[in-house]
Structure 1
Amino acid sequence: MERIRHFLLVRHKQNWLLFFRFGLVGGSGVLVNMLVVILCNKLGPNPHTVAVDLPLTDFNIRWYHVYSTIAFLIANLWNFQLNRWWTFKSAKHAGWLREYLPFLAVGLVGLLVNLAVVTLLLKDGSPLALPTSVFDDSTGFRNRYYWAQLIAICVVVPLSFVLNKIWTFAAVRGRPAETVAVEETKRDTPAGAA
């Protein structure tokens, strides 16, 4: 038991700190995401109506798919900037675009999972559909789409953390800031300059 505790709490202490920071940033991203979803829901068409009918299939893109995608793009940028600056402190280690493209790619995987979960929770006849007897859309707290979005976010966060830690922000793993600063100084100093 002591070895397990040491392994989890001492050896991986830094990972727990990163996960905590990532969670705080993610929490702020959830707020941004939900604010965008609510704003789109208030200003746009009914989220359950069809936005685009996919020809030759039984599938449709509904407005809640569009709203979730818009909310994702805004929250993704928000989360990236905060994670880059605070969680992983990678701004000095890698270029913005070099880190954002993998972060966006991870986010797009998360978005696909998010859309699948939201669809399963909102589609009538789905075994996972939220009950309309409880979530009757009469108030914000009883809005099926809002709850589906929150549940989907909770499913995606652990996957997103792991993928971002091992891929997106990998430039900062095992490289102290001093080492990177020395490398950057050498790279930026003209040949022959002392």
Structure 2
Amino acid sequence: MSIIEPDSLLSVPTGALQIPELPPSTVDAGSENILLSLVIPTYKERDNIKNVVRILSQLLDESIPGNYELIVVDDDSPDRTWEVAESLTREYRQLRVMRRQNERGLSSAVIRGWQAARGRVLGVIDGDLQHPPEVLTQLLRAIQKGADMAVASRHVDGGGVSSWSFIRRFLSRGAQLLGLIILPDVLGRVSDPMSGYFMVRRSSIAGATLNPVGYKILLEVIGRGKVREIAEVGYVFCERVKGESKVTSKQYIDYIHHLVRLRLGTGRLGKISQRINFPVGRFLRFGLVGLSGVFVDMTLLYLLSDPSTLALPLTRSKIIAGEIAIINNFLWNDVWTFADVSSGQYEWRQRMKRFLKFNIICLAGLVLNVLVLNLVFNFIIQNRYIANLIAIAVATVWNFWVNLKLSWRVTQVK
């Protein structure tokens, strides 16, 4: 196993969230032959990280000495967790540290860590000691016996939670039931789909394009990977001793969003999308956002152009209504349709850059819209509203395809 320089940080991978089939090349060719790469995603875990690294290192040194690596992936914590972790590399030579400054989110942090990993088996564990480290050896043993994935579960023999309130238990079970309704083929394979503590063979997810939302990366790996046999190991989820909890209502919203996205991406629509090489699910979301824009557009067109209201010229009214609808559509597309990109490009300058691109493309679409509107209204159907709907449909296809290729893509990294 190669030794990294104490003052070095891992480069943050960019581009698609795909795990390579082979580990990335390193200075020491022999370092590629590592059994386990365990990623520890962190954010404001300064008080915990030393203890986590110490305990995990002692445990793995006993079970697979010299055949593992720990990868701390920190989302540029304001308490400088990454700096504390980096200082530990002098003592723990198997430790590697990545500091992300242009992306956020636990799931994408795990994937970026896996992209830099050198192990044949990829794992993840929380950085707050709520996942008992001693379960690692049981998970690894299950993989070595032939499983493609080993999941630590609170809902099998030996599992449970230490001191959850009734409300938190109810929400957890309710989220699982909702998932079984929306995505039974994925959630039905494990007893604890909300688990964030598991291992998977690199070969089972290599090449798959992952597109996670929020914290629940396990769903993404099962849904998009080639995972055949899954083993489960019971564990007791412990309350954190230090640091602050990351559980918020947004996690549950992200979870539902993730379920819907996986359903669209892995169901019949997903198969059609792959067959014709067109992102059908994303286009449907774009279309739903467009419907909200239609409401804005049609309402303003009426208020501005109808003889009973302001009675402005049709073309001028259409331009004003269309521009306001563009702003509405951009905001929704940025937080929903293309959330996987915008979440990693979150700074206001990057968002403004996307808006300017979106606006220019949609203004070109607006010109197309106006031309179609006038052609249909003057030569085919003399009903301003039906003509406007036809014009909107034509412009929607244009706007989606060009924005997909130009507006929402990773273009700026540090």
TM range (shorter): 0.5 to 0.7
Quote the residue 1:44 is aligned against: 310
Question: Which residue pairs with 1:31 in the alignment?
Answer: 295
Q: Which whole-Å CA distance do the structure 1 matches of 2:386 and 2:278 have between them?
A: 32
Q: 1:114 to 1:10 in 2, by over 3 A?
A: closer
Q: Does structure 1 retain, via aligned residues, the 8 Å contact 2:342–2:408? A: no
Q: For the structure 1 residues 7 and 77, does the alpha-carbon distance in structure 2 shift closer, same or farther, using more than 3 Å as the test?
A: same
Equivalent in 267, 279, 282 of residue 18 of structure 1: 282
Quote the residue 1:70 is aligned against.
320
Write the distance in 2 (CA, Å) between the matches of 1:12 and 1:130.
Answer: 33
> Gapped runs of 5+ residues in structure 2?
1-268
TM-score, scaled to structure 1: 0.64
Judged with a 3 Å threshold, the aligned counterparts in structure 2 of structure 1 residues 12 and 120 are, in CA distance, closer, same or farther, namely closer
After superposition, where does 1:106-145 map in structure 2 within 5 Å?
106-123=361-378, 128-131=379-382, 144-145=383-384
Quick one: distance in 2 between partners of 1:6 and 1:88?
16
Task: Check conservation: 2:270, 2:280, Cα contact below 8 A.
Answer: no
Shift of 1:9: 4.1
Per the alignment, residue 81 of structure 1 pairs with 331
1:54 aligned partner: none
Report the CA distance between 1:92 and its aligned residue. Answer: 2.8
TM-score by length of 2: 0.31
- Secondary structure class of the residue paired with 1:102: helix
SS at match of 1:44: coil
Q: In structure 1, how many angstroms separate the alpha carbons of the residues matched to 2:384 and 2:286? A: 25
CA deviations 1:46-73 (Å, max 9, x no partner) are x6xxxxxxxxxxxxxxx11011101111
Higher relative contact order (CA 8 A, sep 6+): 1
Change (3 A) 1:6 1:163: closer
Matched positions, count:
139
Match of 2:390 in 1: 151
* Residues 8-57 of structure 1, C-alpha deviations (whole Å, 9 max, x = no match): 34467881111111111011111111111111124212x6xxxxxxxxxx
**Does residue 166 of structure 1 match 2:405?**
yes
Q: Distance in 1 between matches of 2:301 and 2:408?
A: 28
Cα pair 2:330 2:358 within 8 Å, conserved: yes
- Relative to structure 1, the CA distance from residue 8 to residue 34 in structure 2 (aligned partners, 3 Å threshold; closer, same or farther) is same
Q: Using the TM superposition, give the Cα deviation of residue 93 of structure 1 relative to its aligned residue in structure 2, in angstroms.
A: 3.0
Deviations 1:73-121 (A, max 9, x none): 1100000000000000133333221101110111111111111111112
Between Structure 1 and Structure 2, the one with more strand by share is 2
- Say what the alpha-carbon RMSD is for the aligned residues: 2.6
**How far apart are 1:130 and its partner, in Å?**
1.4
Cα distance in 2 for partners of 1:116, 1:85 equals: 30
CA distance in 2, matches of 1:9, 1:107: 24
Q: What code does the residue aligned with 2:392 have?
A: I
Q: Counterpart of 2:334 in structure 1: which amino acid?
A: R
Per the alignment, residue 92 of structure 1 pairs with 343
Between 5-14 and 97-106, report the one with greater CA deviation: 5-14
Deviation at 1:171, TM superposition (A): 2.2
Separation in structure 1 between the aligned mates of residue 287 and residue 377 of structure 2, nearest angstrom: 26
Aligned partners of 2:297 and 2:322 also within 8 Å: yes
Quick one: distance in 2 between partners of 1:119 and 1:88? Answer: 32
